[in-house]
Structure 1
Amino acid sequence: MGSSKAVVCALAFVLLLAAETAAGASCDATALSPCVGAIMLGGAVTPGCCARLKAQQGCLCQYARNPSYAGYVGSPRAQGVVQACGLPKPKENI
């Protein structure tokens, strides 16, 4: 049952990312989908994930301020992914 909850959470995260795309044309949160496994399930951080994070780096603080994403962005796994990709930690209260 635990793995099905993880899949549901991962799918919910992807749907939230899709909703962000409609809200902000310059920031495409769906581009971060290669990072879902690492953030939601603790999987390996892939080069594709890091490339997408770097491309969206200017949007990370916006995502951190968004109440729909703040919990994901501030999670220990997400912070680990950001660190593994060599990016600065997004600040939620900018």
Structure 2
Amino acid sequence: MTIFYKAIVADKMFDNPSNKEVIRYKEALWQGLETIDKKPFISTNLCIEIVRSIKKNTAGIRTTPGTSLKNPQGETIYTPPTGEAVIRDK
């Protein structure tokens, strides 16, 4: 029995939500790597597919303005770009 096979079987045995999330990340990133292996380009659509796979929903590019990351003191430390066109142009 290979290590890879053992990992696949072990993945199916986790009932903890945190463990399931880790498995979703692993599967989504593996899918992304396989896609990049076929076509060596990281596109916006590939990133969207990875996020959808992780979150198990149909999320796309955030359209709501005003999103920011703040530190514990409430200071804005990062404001992501706003708007699909801006993000796709990057």
Whether these two folds match at TM > 0.5 is no
TM-score (norm 1): 0.35
Task: Indicate the structure (1 or 2) with the bigger Cα radius of gyration.
Answer: 2
Q: Kindly indicate which of the two structures has a greater share of residues assigned to strand.
A: 2
Q: Kindly indicate which of the two structures has a greater share of residues assigned to helix.
A: 1
TM-score (norm 2): 0.36
